[in-house]
């Protein structure tokens, strides 16, 4: 099926990313503004946390606290009552920045990373970067370097961790061991010519994948059954949620080039599409509050 998205809000945001559904509301972050937002019932975004530097991946816990990736600081902070404290430090493991985050039900976290400044040194694009594993007590190690640019993540119904590699155009699956380590890398879906970024799992085991000017519904093996046409803007991530789980929230910006954003001003926006299959699984949390 082919979709044209509806514009939900254009504040504009600088670079919106990491949308999540948490039980009864959508949330997302504005990376460059260092701000996390909750989308209210009227569709407007309300800031819930402001950090002093760029943020990217994050998760809300049942007690209301947050784990937030402070990307350029290369650490994860625990935020409670607006106060941030270091939960995990990856400065010794990562050369430039941390990116997206997924927290598994057992408390183990996985954080994408980039070893080099993509914008200042593009000659290094294509070199592998680490996927960081963080234990429930905050110890950080490198889970794997078998990825070039680890980005959006989910956990499949098989229990495997699925990771989007933006620069190889692949969705990679890894077996999660009891201690959180990763083994048995395999290509779950190859998407030639695409740049998979944020992803969202649905109840049938397919994933929605943001890939710049398109958002794709991809099944294992690479079959694409649905496409959202983003036109001239670029999707950065997507997430299923809403009252029936079938609203796909898409974060987007006209450009990824920070120099262009500084010169022309921000163009970040939020879009929605109503799809046929509900969301199911991390990094979002569905269902009533326990």
Write down the mean pLDDT value for the chain: 95
In a domain? residue 208: yes
Of the candidates 253, 248, 214, which has an alpha carbon nearest to the alpha carbon of residue 233?
253
In a domain? residue 288: no
pLDDT in tens, 155-210: 999 999 999 999 999 999 999 999 999 999 999 999 999 999 999 999 999 999 99
pLDDT above 90 (res 100): yes
pLDDT in tens, 66-93: 999 999 999 999 999 999 999 999 999 9
In the chain, the number of structural domains is 1
Structural domain containing residue 51: 2-274
Q: What CA–CA distance (Å, rounded) separates 172 from 190?
A: 9
CATH of the domain at 255: 2.120.10.30
In a domain? residue 283: no
Q: Cα(first)–Cα(last) distance of the chain, in Å?
A: 35
In a domain? residue 282: no
In a domain? residue 289: no
In a domain? residue 86: yes
Model pLDDT, residue 290: 37
pLDDT in tens, 108-122: 999 999 998 877 777
In a domain? residue 29: yes
Are 208 and 214 contacting, i.e. CB atoms less than 8 angstroms apart?
A: no
Question: What is the pTM (predicted TM-score) of this model?
Answer: 0.95
Model pLDDT, residue 258: 84
């Amino acid at each position: 099926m082919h979709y044209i998205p509806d514009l939900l809000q254009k504040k504009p945001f600088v670079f919106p990313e990491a949308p999540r559904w948490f039980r009864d509301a959508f949330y997302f972050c504005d990376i460059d503004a260092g701000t996390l937002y909750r989308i209210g019932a009227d569709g407007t975004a309300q800031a819930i946390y402001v950090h002093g530097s760029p943020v990217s991946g994050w998760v809300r816990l049942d007690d209301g606290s947050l784990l937030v990736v402070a990307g350029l600081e290369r650490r994860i902070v625990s935020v409670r009552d607006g106060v941030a404290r270091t939960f995990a430090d990856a400065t010794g493991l990562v050369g430039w920045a941390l990116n997206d985050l997924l927290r598994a039900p057992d408390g183990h976290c996985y954080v994408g990373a980039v070893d080099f400044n993509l914008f200042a040194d593009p000659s290094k694009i294509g070199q592998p970067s680490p996927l960081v594993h963080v234990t429930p007590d905050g110890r950080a190690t490198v889970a794997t370097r078998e990825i070039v640019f680890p980005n959006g993540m989910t956990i499949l119904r098989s229990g495997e961790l699925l990771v989007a590699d933006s620069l190889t155009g692949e969705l990679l699956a890894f077996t999660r061991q009891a201690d959180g380590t990763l083994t048995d890398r395999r290509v779950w879906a190859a998407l030639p010519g695409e740049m998979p970024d944020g992803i969202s799992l649905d109840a049938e085991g397919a994933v929605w994948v943001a890939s710049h000017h398109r958002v794709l519904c991809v099944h294992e093996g690479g079959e694409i059954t649905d496409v959202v046409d983003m036109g001239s803007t670029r999707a950065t991530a997507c997430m299923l949620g809403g009252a029936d789980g079938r609203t796909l929230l898409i974060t987007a910006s006209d450009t990824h080039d920070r120099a262009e954003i500084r010169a022309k001003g921000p163009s970040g926006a939020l879009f929605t599409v109503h799809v046929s299959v509900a969301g199911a699984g991390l990094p979002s949390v569905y269902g009533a509050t326990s």
